[in-house]
C-alpha cells in the first residue's frame, strides 16, 4: 500500500475513534463518534422516519400505503432496506466517504444500519452479502469501493460471508450525472458480468450499496445475478435518494 494512502487510512481511523470536529458541522466534539450531539440527533431522526418495507422510500407515517410502489416493491427484489433518505447529514457524510477518501465513515454507516430493526431482520434471513463492484478504473481513482467497506463491516457484525460473483465489465458514466431513469438504465445495461454463479446459487442474497435513486444499479446487478438462480434477492443501502434531485416529499 502506498505510504500516502496508508497515512490517510490511519487518519480516518483516528478521526473516527477520537474526533476533534464534527464530520458534518465541524464544531468541536468530545468523545467517540464522528458527529456532535446535535448532528447525531438529526441523523437519528432520519433513521426513525417511516419507510416502505418493500422499496424503502419514505412514508408519512408507519403503516401507510406506499405512494411509490404501492407495496409491490422493486422488480426482482423481495425488499430493500436503508438507514435514511438522502438528505443532510447523511448526504454530506456519504459524499465525504465516497469522494474524499473518508472510508471510516462507511464503517460508521454500517454500524448505524445494524441498529435498524428492518436491517437486522433482513440480515438474520440472509446467506451472503454481495457488494456492488466498481470498475477497476474508478476504484483506482477513488482508492476503495465504499460498498465493499460496508459489506465487510456488516460481515463482521453479523458473521455473514461476503461473496463477489460479479465484475464490472464496462466503465460507465457515473450515475450521479445521468438524470433520467431510462438513461440510467441504458448506462448500466450489461455493465456487470457473472463470474461465480456457485457463490449465490440457491442462496438468500443481499446486495450492498451506498445510495439508490432510480434503482437502475440494483436492477442491473439483479439481472446479472439471475442466471445463477439465487433463492432470493434483497438489498441494503445507506440511503434512498429522490430521482428528481430534490429532498423527498412524502406524497
Q: How far apart are CA 107 and CA 103, in angstroms?
A: 7
pLDDT digits (tens, 9 = 90+) for 95-124: 998 888 788 899 999 999 999 999 999 999
Which domains are present in the chain? 50-240 (3.40.50)
pLDDT digits (tens, 9 = 90+) for 7-17: 555 555 555 55
Considering only 40-49, 55-64, 127-136, which range has the smallest mean pLDDT? Answer: 55-64
Considering only 142-151, 182-191, 216-225, which range has the smallest mean pLDDT? Answer: 182-191
- Categorize the per-residue pLDDT at 170 as very low, low, confident or very high, splitting at 50, 70 and 90: confident
Per-residue pLDDT at 240 exceeds 70: yes
C-alpha torsion 57→63→65→70, nearest 10: 60
Q: How far apart are CA 236 and CA 128, in angstroms?
A: 12
| The dihedral sign for the CA sequence 118, 120, 122, 128 | positive
Specify whether the CB–CB gap between 164 and 148 falls below 8 A: no
Classify each residue of 154-167 as buried b or exposed e, where b means 16 or more C-beta atoms within 10 Å of its C-beta: bbeebebebbebbb
How far CA 221 is from CA of 81, 207, 224, in Å, comes to: 16, 8, 5
Residue 166 DSSP one-character state:
E
Q: How far apart are CA 207 and CA 2, in angstroms?
A: 30
Is the overall model pTM greater than 0.75, yes or no? Answer: yes
- Categorize the per-residue pLDDT at 70 as very low, low, confident or very high, splitting at 50, 70 and 90: confident
Amino acid at each position: 500500500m502506498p505510504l500516502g494512502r496508508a497515512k490517510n487510512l490511519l487518519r480516518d481511523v483516528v478521526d473516527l475513534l477520537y474526533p476533534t470536529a464534527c464530520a458534518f458541522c465541524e464544531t468541536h466534539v468530545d468523545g467517540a463518534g464522528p458527529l456532535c450531539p446535535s448532528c447525531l440527533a438529526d441523523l437519528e431522526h432520519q433513521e426513525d422516519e417511516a419507510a416502505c418495507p418493500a422499496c424503502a422510500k419514505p412514508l408519512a407515517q408507519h403503516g401507510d400505503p406506499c405512494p411509490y410502489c404501492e407495496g409491490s416493491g422493486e422488480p426482482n427484489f423481495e425488499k430493500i432496506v436503508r438507514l435514511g433518505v438522502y438528505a443532510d447529514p447523511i448526504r454530506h457524510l456519504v459524499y465525504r466517504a465516497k469522494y474524499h477518501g473518508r472510508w471510516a465513515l462507511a464503517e460508521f454507516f454500517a454500524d448505524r444500519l445494524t441498529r435498524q430493526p428492518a436491517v437486522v431482520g433482513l440480515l438474520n434471513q440472509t446467506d451472503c452479502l454481495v457488494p456492488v463492484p466498481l470498475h477497476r478504473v474508478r476504484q483506482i481513482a477513488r482508492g476503495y469501493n465504499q460498498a465493499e467497506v460496508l459489506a465487510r463491516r456488516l460481515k463482521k457484525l453479523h458473521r455473514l460471508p461476503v461473496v463477489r460473483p460479479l465484475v464490472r465489465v464496462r466503465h460507465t458514466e457515473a450515475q450521479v450525472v445521468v438524470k433520467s431513469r431510462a438513461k440510467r438504465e441504458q448506462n448500466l445495461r450489461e455493465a456487470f458480468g457473472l463470474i461465480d454463479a456457485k457463490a449465490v446459487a440457491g442462496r438468500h442474497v443481499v446486495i450492498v450499496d451506498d445510495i439508490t435513486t432510480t434503482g437502475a444499479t440494483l436492477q442491473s446487478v439483479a439481472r446479472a445475478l439471475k442466471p445463477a438462480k439465487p433463492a432470493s434477492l434483497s438489498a441494503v443501502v445507506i440511503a434512498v435518494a429522490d430521482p428528481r434531485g430534490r429532498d423527498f416529499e412524502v406524497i
